[in-house]
Amino acid sequence: MGQSLQAYTLGQRLKAIREANGLSQRELAKRAGVTNSSISMIEQGQVSPSVQSLEKVLAGIPMSLSHFFASVDGGADDVFFDQHNMVKHEKPYGFMQMIGENISRRNVTLKHFYFDPQTDTGETPMMSHFDQAGWVSQGDIQMTIGAKIKELSPGEGFYLAAYTPCRVKNLSALNSAQIIVATEVLAVP
């Protein structure tokens, strides 16, 4: 047999990435300037390519070597999160937590905003460099986006374009309010 687990894992990942990019083995080989059999043998774990060979193959996708290896081993990043491994950022209105805050090459963020009773984000509007979509999961809030103001209840949401000023206020004197916000971010090459 003689195939190493590392070569098999590398080959399986190459195949998954190739297929996700809609490339046949033949097309990837053509783009990378290698033979079809080279791609096939790597994907089947029959050979473990040198760094230079793998870099050449990945150029046909295109994908960097560092991104490929971060994907192969799952990186050192966590993939599951609970209250114990998410940093709690204290805010004047309560706190904010983000899933995957320390993940390298993060392309999306999911934030949990917790508002204490009768608190808000402050007189100075908040502003993001990225578009955001949000959903009220608990409580009633008043949302100001640009010049528009609306009261939102659980199950209702909003879309906030980049660089648009916004303000959030918890309307309840007794209960907390919570919002879940998703943001796409620019991938780090």
pLDDT at position 71: 52
- At 125-184, the pLDDT tens digits run 998 888 999 999 999 999 999 999 999 999 999 999 999 999 999 999 999 999 999 998
pLDDT at position 186: 60
- At residue 185 the predicted structure's pLDDT band, cuts being 50, 70 and 90, is confident
- If one counts every other C-beta atom within 10 angstroms of the C-beta of residue 31, the result is 14
Q: What's the whole-number mean pLDDT along residues 78-97?
A: 84
More confident residue, 46 or 107: 46
pLDDT at position 77: 54
- At residue 3 the predicted structure's pLDDT band, cuts being 50, 70 and 90, is very low
Contact 94, 135 (CB under 8 A): no
Residues whose CB falls within 8 Å of the CB of residue 163, separated by 6 or more in sequence, listed in order: 127, 128, 129
pLDDT at position 1: 39
Closest CA to 174 of 138, 146, 145: 138
C-alpha to C-alpha distance for 142 and 169, rounded to whole angstroms:
5
The rounded Cα 68 to chain-centroid distance in angstroms is: 16
- At 26-81, the pLDDT tens digits run 999 999 999 999 999 998 888 888 888 898 998 888 887 777 766 544 444 567 88
- Does 5 score more than 50 pLDDT? no
For 154-179, give one letter per residue: b (16+ CB within 10 A) or e: eeeebebeeebebbbbbbbeeeebbb
- Does 188 score more than 80 pLDDT? no
